[in-house]
């Protein structure tokens, strides 16, 4: 018998190697990345096009903003793209929740929590949004009378945290907010600020960073116990209800305490900081563009005639919706997110090697001059139906796309539209001069670098409650 040896031919390399900025030996583009990341990525798109190749230490990363290529990663060929190494940093903090897992584990959790996030179900949180916002605005009323400014960073974070906690978990988190503020800040720093590729110490080494993570997870574990006990007593919190009843589809076993904790931590973190950042930039943009604000005030008066908006009302506020959409275009809270290619792929004619990372950035895509005229301008009219015609769907993706699209997008949009409307019904906001309003550290969300002080001025015609 003769044996014929078949030569194993390497798979053909598809596409050209993408161009990219020059780096230095070993570190590659890491120093530029660690400087002003947002600026660096915008420059990469401007100078090298819609697929550019970056070297971050040992990692090859492609920044992709060509809309068909974005669609291929998130939808058409999404099974080739996993969360990957850059998401590993999130896992050290959040554990194994919806944001950090793939495959069957992710699918089972997504199915379990999805019902409370459907558009219809979300509408039922309307009274909670109204109550929490009214509490905040009553306090602003007192401060406005004294001529005291408010810090939008603190106020928006607190409001979205209180709303999320009450509406999904049935828990009044207000007493815990001073402690949680620090925990959330630490977590965000840890997950991104030190660079996913920068801090490579294994989790068992007692580095400062690892000790902080361990302490914050302990604080959160205690809080979770309290929230679950509260649910057992009161039965409140529709998401808590689903999570407590959830079972593993293979074993039929209830979720473990760790699974429950990690999912709760994920939802708390993914849900409140993002919405707070979006709310903040919307309010800041309105303060900076009085004509846009006046048109919104006119719409609110015409449609609501002074009444507090309901979930149904916001559907009748197209300009308010466009204001929020435009704010999410310029300041998408989750402004970059990574994937790893399992097998070789080709994106917009460029070769993506197996094992390399792909970086999608709504921040960069939303400022791509090929799809957005005068991209740096805050112009809600660009979302007029006429002007939106023909725009590629993946030129705009603040909530992601495909199966991994943000589970909380209806909730976030409802909150943003209602809260912005309620604030503007009662107050005119002006930025306190001298505030440093630069976005983007290399944080996970597009936060401003410092506090943002605004002076609320009461319109003296409180909305009817
Ligand atoms: C303006 C507010 C928000 C923005 C801009 C936003 C953005 C995003 C984006 C871009 C993703 C996809 C990330 C990726 O594909 O790698 C995502 C996923 C996710 N978001 Fe949001 N989000 C917001 C609000 C919320 C809220 C209110 C919740 C929950 C209460 C939430 C929970 C989640 C979860 C659990 C995931 C992971 C989903 C999965 O992989 O199945 N988000 N979000």
Query: pLDDT 10s digit of each residue in the chain, 465 long?
Result: 333 444 555 555 678 999 999 999 999 999 998 888 888 999 999 999 999 999 998 889 999 999 999 999 999 999 999 988 767 777 777 888 998 898 999 999 999 999 999 999 999 999 999 999 999 999 999 999 999 999 999 999 999 999 999 999 999 998 887 777 777 777 766 665 544 444 555 666 667 777 877 888 888 889 999 999 999 999 999 999 999 999 998 899 999 999 999 999 999 988 998 999 999 999 999 999 999 999 999 999 999 999 999 999 999 999 999 999 999 999 999 998 899 999 999 999 999 999 999 999 999 999 999 999 999 999 999 999 999 999 999 999 999 999 999 999 999 999 999 999 999 999 999 999 876 666 655 455 677 877 889 999 998 754 444
* Residue 207 belongs to a domain: yes
- Tell me how far apart the alpha carbons of residues 196 and 22 are, in angstroms, rounded to a whole number: 21
292 lines ligand 1 (CB under 6 A): no
* Residue 4 belongs to a domain: no
According to DSSP, residue 383 is labeled: G
Residue 40: both structure tokens together: 């660096």
The confidence score (pLDDT) of residue 28 equals: 95
The confidence score (pLDDT) of residue 460 equals: 72
The confidence score (pLDDT) of residue 62 equals: 97
Beta carbons within 10 angstroms of residue 299's beta carbon: 19
| Cα-to-centroid distance, 407 and ligand 1 (Å) | 6
84 lines ligand 1 (CB under 6 A): no
User: Residue 300 pairs with which residues in a beta bridge?
Assistant: none
The confidence score (pLDDT) of residue 449 equals: 73
* Residue 14 belongs to a domain: no
Residue 373: both structure tokens together: 């005229």
Q: Which of 375, 435, 370 has the alpha carbon at shortest distance from 50?
A: 370
Q: Please report which helix (H) or strand (E) contains residue 276, including its range.
A: helix 257-288
Q: Which of 34, 38, 36, 35 has the alpha carbon at shortest distance from 332?
A: 38
What residue owns the CA closest to ligand 1's atom 41? 404
267 lines ligand 1 (CB under 6 A): yes
271 lines ligand 1 (CB under 6 A): yes
| Cα-to-centroid distance, 379 and ligand 1 (Å) | 25
The confidence score (pLDDT) of residue 8 equals: 53
338 lines ligand 1 (CB under 6 A): no
**The ligand 1 atom nearest the CA atom of 97:** 35
Handedness of CA 196, 202, 203, 205 (dihedral sign): negative
What residue owns the CA closest to ligand 1's atom 21? 406
Mutate to test the pocket of ligand 1, among 276, 406, 445 (most ligand atoms within 8 A of CB): 406
Helix/strand/coil for 61: strand
* Residue 21 belongs to a domain: no
Do residues 152 and 190 lie in contact, with contact meaning Cβ atoms separated by under 8 Å? no
**The ligand 1 atom nearest the CA atom of 403:** 41
| Cα-to-centroid distance, 77 and ligand 1 (Å) | 20
398 lines ligand 1 (CB under 6 A): yes
The confidence score (pLDDT) of residue 196 equals: 43
What residue owns the CA closest to ligand 1's atom 16? 337
The total domain count for the chain is 1
* Residue 25 belongs to a domain: no
What residue owns the CA closest to ligand 1's atom 7? 399
Provide the residue range defining the domain that includes 306. 30-458
- Where b means 16+ CB within 10 Å and e means fewer, 30-40 reads bebbbeebbeb
* Residue 463 belongs to a domain: no
The confidence score (pLDDT) of residue 1 equals: 35
164 lines ligand 1 (CB under 6 A): yes
Whichever domain contains 51, its CATH number is 1.10.630.10
| Cα-to-centroid distance, 397 and ligand 1 (Å) | 11
112 lines ligand 1 (CB under 6 A): no
* Residue 464 belongs to a domain: no
Residue 48: both structure tokens together: 């090298």
Mutate to test the pocket of ligand 1, among 85, 108, 270 (most ligand atoms within 8 A of CB): 270
**The ligand 1 atom nearest the CA atom of 109:** 41
Backbone angles phi, psi at 145, to 5 degrees: -65, -35
Do residues 69 and 50 lie in contact, with contact meaning Cβ atoms separated by under 8 Å? yes
Beta carbons within 10 angstroms of residue 51's beta carbon: 26
* Residue 433 belongs to a domain: yes
pTM > 0.85: yes
The confidence score (pLDDT) of residue 87 equals: 76
């Amino acid at each position: 018998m003769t044996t014929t040896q078949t030569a194993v031919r390497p798979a053909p390399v598809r596409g050209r190697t993408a161009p990219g900025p020059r780096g230095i030996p070993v570190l590659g583009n890491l120093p530029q990345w660690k400087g002003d990341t947002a600026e660096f990525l915008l420059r990469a798109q401007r100078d090298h096009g819609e697929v550019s190749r970056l070297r971050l230490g040992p990692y090859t990363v492609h920044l992709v903003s060509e809309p068909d290529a974005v669609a291929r990663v998130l939808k058409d060929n999404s099974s080739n793209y996993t969360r990957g190494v850059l998401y590993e940093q999130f896992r050290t903090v959040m554990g194994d929740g919806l944001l950090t897992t793939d495959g069957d584990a992710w699918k089972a959790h997504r199915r379990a929590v999805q019902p409370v996030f459907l558009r219809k179900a979300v509408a039922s949180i309307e009274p909670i949004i109204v109550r929490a916002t009214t509490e905040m605005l009553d306090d602003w009323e007192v401060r406005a009378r004294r001529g005291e400014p408010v810090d939008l960073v603190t106020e928006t974070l607190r409001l979205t945290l209180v709303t999320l906690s009450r509406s999904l978990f049935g828990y009044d988190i207000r007493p815990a907010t001073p402690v949680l503020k620090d925990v959330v800040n630490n977590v965000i720093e840890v997950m991104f600020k030190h660079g996913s590729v920068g801090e490579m110490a294994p989790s068992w080494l007692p580095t400062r960073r690892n000790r902080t993570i361990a302490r914050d997870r302990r604080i959160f574990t205690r809080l979770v116990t309290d929230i679950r006990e509260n649910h057992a007593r009161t039965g409140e919190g529709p998401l808590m209800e689903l999570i407590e009843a959830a079972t593993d589809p293979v074993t039929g076993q209830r979720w473990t305490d760790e699974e429950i904790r990690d999912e709760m931590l994920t939802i708390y973190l993914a849900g409140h900081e993002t919405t707070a950042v979006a709310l903040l930039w919307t309010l800041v943009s309105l303060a900076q563009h009085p004509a846009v604000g006046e048109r919104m005030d006119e719409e609110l008066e015409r449609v609501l005639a002074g009444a507090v908006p309901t979930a149904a009302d916001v559907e009748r506020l197209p300009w308010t919706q466009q204001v929020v959409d435009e704010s999410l275009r310029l300041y998408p809270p989750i402004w970059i997110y990574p994937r790893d290619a399992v097998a070789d792929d080709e994106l917009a004619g460029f070769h993506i090697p197996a094992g390399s990372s792909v970086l999608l950035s709504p921040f960069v895509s939303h400022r791509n001059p090929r799809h957005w005229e005068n991209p740096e301008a805050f112009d809600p009219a660009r979302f007029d139906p006429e002007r939106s015609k023909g725009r590629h769907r993946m030129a705009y993706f603040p909530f992601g796309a495909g199966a991994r699209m943000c589970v909380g997008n209806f909730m976030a949009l409802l909150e943003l539209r209602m809260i912005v409307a309620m604030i503007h019904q009662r107050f005119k906001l002006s930025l306190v001069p001298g505030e440093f309003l630069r976005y983007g550290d290399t944080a996970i969300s597009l936060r401003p670098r410092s506090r943002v002080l605004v002076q609320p001025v009461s319109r003296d015609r409180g909305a009817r409650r």
